[in-house]
């Protein structure tokens, strides 16, 4: 079994611990958390340490803490020439401390505590300094996911920015749709099939081919009537900017 | 059987003709198209008329033409005191001509010619002037969909605006994600599971609960590094505006 230590207790750390639990290739031999209670639902209490200097020997150390803390935590590790990776989409591999071998193990997904995820379907993006470490990391990743990709730090940054657009920003547009429904006594569930269809569509058509609606048609009458309907200035501004972007994009083709 | 005439030959008209074809409650007795060829794949050629004055007797006439043409087409109809409805999310019922009984039959979905849809799952929003017409329209709608809602013109407008946010604008954000991937030699398929998970999530959690990411955390370091990464001015502006909107929204709670 490949011996792995998880350092951190947030959403990603918890989901990783759960995913590896059903695994006969990887064993989580230890997890670090400042507060033991964060992890006691996910791993035996005896395997949790609250002392960063008390990490035991392992083949792989996965740092899964907030982006701002990764460099510092990697600096504080009382280890030498071990394979130490982080799970962040936006931090370069080189931000890890030089005393250990560096790598990245980035599961590209959105994790909420209250929502189960199927790790099999989650793409995991890997990067290491050398081939041998890559092979180990790949074995670990493939033990929980069917979709493992070799992605360098610059590509990972691009992916993370893209993910902000297709996840955080998309979810914010869902929220605006939800608000408009609430204000007009319309059940948000009416929009669910449209939301799912829109998401499903772009696995068959490119987003460019899939586009429909008043902006795509440059239908100024409908656009103006929507702008008159909206009373929230912020919603109005977002409507204007995205409509202009769709129209300008159409002109480029 | 309820006798229905479809007036129009666009995406919605074609999908409606297909949906009613497998139906033993509704019969499409005629379809109008300026160009016969638009519909010959979907209905017997003998049932297609190119003459708006040649419409035959029916229980229901569904005008499914572009928004700008609905009022004029309803004016041109050589009919009196018939139930005439349109399929638009953004046109008021009252825009239909007074010589017939008015109604709306609005399937809230995105239709592309090249993508099949399951009409069963598509919410249909109905409005009529009187109860008897509502019952007929409801029977017609329930013959193809499990999700039929009574939605007045103002609510329909709100829904249509919401749909622009959760469909057209969301799809445009997918397109930006796709562009960023292309520019960095990353297969767009890496983002597909995230796109689907984001869409699925809001049927279990509210969009507000589902939100994650740098804007939600007000993580200025990541936000600034993303803005530095983006070179396209339009992408930068959209990133800034939606990030600000997420941060401002968090402050309100």
Residue range A80-95, pLDDT digits in tens:
999 999 999 889 999 9
Residue A191 has pLDDT above 80, yes or no: yes
Question: What pLDDT is recorded for position A90?
Answer: 82
**C-alpha distance from residue B129 to each of B75, B96, B185 (Å):** 18, 12, 56
Asked if A121 has any chain B CB less than 8 Å from its own CB, the reply is yes
CB A75 within 8 A of CB B229: no
Residues in chain A: 253
Nearest-10 crossing angle of helices A170-183, A233-252: 130
Strand ranges inside A182-238, DSSP E: none
* A-B Cβ pairs (cutoff 8 Å, strict): 336
Whether A120 has its CB under 8 Å from any CB of chain B: the answer is no
- Given this model, what pLDDT does residue B41 score? 85
- Using CA atoms, how far apart are residues B14 and A172, in angstroms rounded to an integer? 33
Residue B112 scores a pLDDT above 70 = no
Report residue B37's pLDDT band, with 50, 70 and 90 as the boundaries. Answer: confident
For the segment B181-204, the average pLDDT, to the nearest whole number, is 94
pLDDT given for residue A10 in this prediction: 92
| Separation of alpha carbons A59 and A146, rounded Å | 22
Contact B161 A238 (CB under 8 A): no
The H or E element containing residue B199 is: helix B192-201
- Return phi, psi of residue B157, to 5°: -65, -45
- Give B115-135 pLDDT, tens digit per residue: 677 888 899 999 999 999 999
Average pLDDT, chain A: 93
Which residues, in sequence order, are CB contacts of B5 under 8 Å at separation 6+? B28, B29, B30, B31, B32, B55, B56, B58, B60, B61, B62
Q: Quick one: what percent of chain A has pLDDT higher than 70?
A: 97
Beta strand A124-128 pairing with A101-107: antiparallel
Contact (CB<8Å) A168/B204: no
pLDDT at position B253 over 60: no
pLDDT higher than threshold 60 for residue B223: yes
Residues of B in contact with A204 (CB under 8 A): 115
Percent of chain B with pLDDT over 90: 82
Q: Return the pLDDT at A42.
A: 86
Residues of A in Cβ contact (< 8 Å) with B190: 108, 123, 125, 147, 149, 159
Residues of B in contact with A215 (CB under 8 A): 164, 168, 172
The pLDDT value given to residue A170? 98
> Per residue in A32-51, is it b (16+ CB within 10 Å) or e — as a string?
bbeeeebbeebbeeebbbee
pLDDT tier at A173, thresholds 50, 70, 90: very high
In this predicted structure, the answer to whether residue A114 has a pLDDT above a threshold of 70 is: no
Note whether A150 and A144 are within 8 A (CB).
no
| B207, B236, B253: best to mutate for the A interface, most A CBs within 10 A | B207
Contact yes or no for B103/B128 (Cβ under 8 A): yes
pLDDT digits (tens, 9 = 90+) for A12-56: 999 999 999 989 999 999 999 999 888 988 898 999 999 999 999
Query: How large is the average pLDDT for residues B161-188?
Result: 97
Q: pLDDT tens digit string along B45-100?
A: 999 999 999 999 999 999 999 988 999 999 999 999 999 999 998 899 999 999 99
pLDDT of residue A115: 67
pLDDT level of residue B114 (50, 70, 90 thresholds): low
B185 chain-A contacts, CB cut-off 8 A: 155
Is the predicted pLDDT of residue A253 greater than 60, yes or no?
no
pLDDT at A113 (0 to 100): 66
Residue environment code for B4-40, b if the CB has 16+ CB neighbours within 10 A, otherwise e: bbbbbbebbbbbbbbbbeebeebbbbbbbbeeeebbe
Q: How confident is the model at residue A139 (pLDDT cuts 50, 70, 90)?
A: very high
Torsion of CA A23, A29, A33, A35, to 10 degrees: 90
Task: Look at residue A122 and give its three-state secondary structure.
Answer: coil
The pLDDT value recorded for residue A109 is 79
Domains, in order of start, for chain A: 2-151 (3.40.50.720), 156-252 (1.10.1040.20)
In this prediction, residue B19 has a pLDDT band, given cuts at 50, 70 and 90, of very high
Chain A contact probe: residue of B118, B193, B241 with most A CBs at under 10 A:
B193
List, as ranges, residues 166-225 from A with C-beta within 8 Å of B.
Answer: 166-178, 180-181, 183-187, 189-217, 219, 221-222, 225
Give the residue-averaged pLDDT of B183-203: 94
**pTM across the whole model:** 0.80
Number of Cβ within 10 Å of residue B77's Cβ equals 21
Judge whether A239 is closer than 8 Å to chain B, CB to CB: yes
By three-state DSSP, how is residue B109 classified?
A: coil
For residue A148, pLDDT beyond 80: yes
Spatial neighbors of A149 by CB under 8 A, at least 6 apart, are: A123, A124, A125, A126, B187, B190
* Separation in Å, CA A245 to CA A242, B1, B2, B112, B234: 5, 47, 44, 21, 7
Note the pLDDT of residue B117: 75
Is residue B221 predicted with pLDDT exceeding 90? no
Q: Give the residue-averaged pLDDT of A224-230.
A: 95
Contact check, Cβ <8 Å, B201/A171: yes
Res B113: pLDDT: 66
């Amino acid at each position: 079994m490949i011996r792995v230590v998880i350092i951190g207790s947030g959403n990603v750390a918890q989901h990783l611990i759960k995913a590896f639990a059903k695994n006969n290739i990887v064993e989580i031999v230890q997890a670090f958390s400042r507060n033991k209670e964060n992890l006691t639902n996910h791993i035996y209490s005896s395997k949790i340490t609250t002392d960063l200097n008390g990490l035991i020997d392992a083949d792989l150390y996965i740092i899964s803490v907030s982006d701002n803390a990764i460099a510092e935590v990697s600096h504080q590790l009382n280890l030498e020439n071990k394979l130490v990776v982080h799970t962040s989409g936006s931090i370069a591999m080189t931000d890890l401390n030089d005393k250990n071998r560096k790598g990245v193990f980035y599961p590209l997904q959105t994790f909420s505590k209250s929502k189960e995820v199927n790790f099999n379907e989650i793409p995991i993006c890997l990067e290491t300094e050398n081939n041998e470490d890559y092979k180990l990391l790949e074995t670990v990743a493939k033990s929980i996911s069917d979709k493992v990709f070799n992605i360098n730090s610059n590509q990972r940054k691009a992916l993370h920015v893209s993910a902000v657009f297709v996840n955080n920003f998309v979810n914010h547009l869902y929220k605006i749709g939800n608000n408009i429904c609430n204000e007009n006594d319309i059940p948000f569930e009416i929009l669910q099939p449209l939301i799912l269809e829109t998401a499903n569509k772009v696995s068959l058509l490119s987003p460019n081919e899939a586009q429909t609606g008043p902006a795509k048609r440059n239908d100024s009458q409908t656009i103006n009537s929507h702008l008159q309907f909206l009373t929230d200035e912020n919603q109005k501004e977002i409507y204007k900017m995205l409509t202009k972007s769709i129209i300008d994009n159409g002109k480029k083709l």
